[in-house]
Copies of this chain bind each other. A is one copy, B any other.
């Protein structure tokens, strides 16, 4: 019964993961396909944001979805029902997506036909933040009923995300959730984070989120010298 060297294994896994992720990111860039990794707690609204985004962009762009779920196909069925091409990755117990899983999913898609791939990570505010999936953009959702203390409790997720979507703002009147305090706390962790208060149910705020995503895509297709790095 020797000691288990957990840390070293973890570092090795993370290093291997980063290598696959960098390769995926490069391959997708060459095809002009922007990949967006969407992360949140269970039930914060990943599938709803994907449906709203696909519906807003669907006339102009070809959108595909990669759905991660531990067991079920509930979410991918919702997406397929809207006529959006979707591939489901069953993680079989893993609490996060790794780049190798994403690679398997992409292999099952017609990537060259797609302008944007939205990846729905496993519902978890912890581990998905640690694993690079190969996406070009990382987006996290915090929903109002979860409470405004989450940046204090799950700082890594806020630190690594390009955008924070604060979803379910239609619940604000029922809670003591303080949007300004979340903004401040998130910006302390990550001064460059872009914050979008929205309601996927009512559609409020979605326009700003879509505007940002489109802008990011334009820069992705014609990167400036700085962004090419």
Residues of A in contact with B (beta carbons under 8 Å apart): 1, 4, 6, 9, 12-13, 16, 41-44, 69-72, 74-75, 93, 95, 122-127, 130, 143-147, 149-150, 152-156, 168, 170-171, 174
Contact = CB atoms under 8 A, between A and B. Distances in A.
Contacts of A125: 42, 123-124
Contacts of A70: 126, 153-156
Contacts of A122: 126
A225 to B, nearest CB: 34
Nearest to A72: B152
Given A124-B126, A152-B72, A16 B4 contact: yes
Contacts of A155: 70-72
A170 B125 CA distance: 25
A98 B101 CA distance: 26
Given A9-B9, A124-B95, A124-B124, A153 B41 contact: no
Contact of A147 (B43, B124, B152): B43
Given A168-B145, A171-B171, A74 B42 contact: no
A144 B13 CA distance: 36
Contacts of A72: 149, 152-153, 155
A9 to B, nearest CB: 6
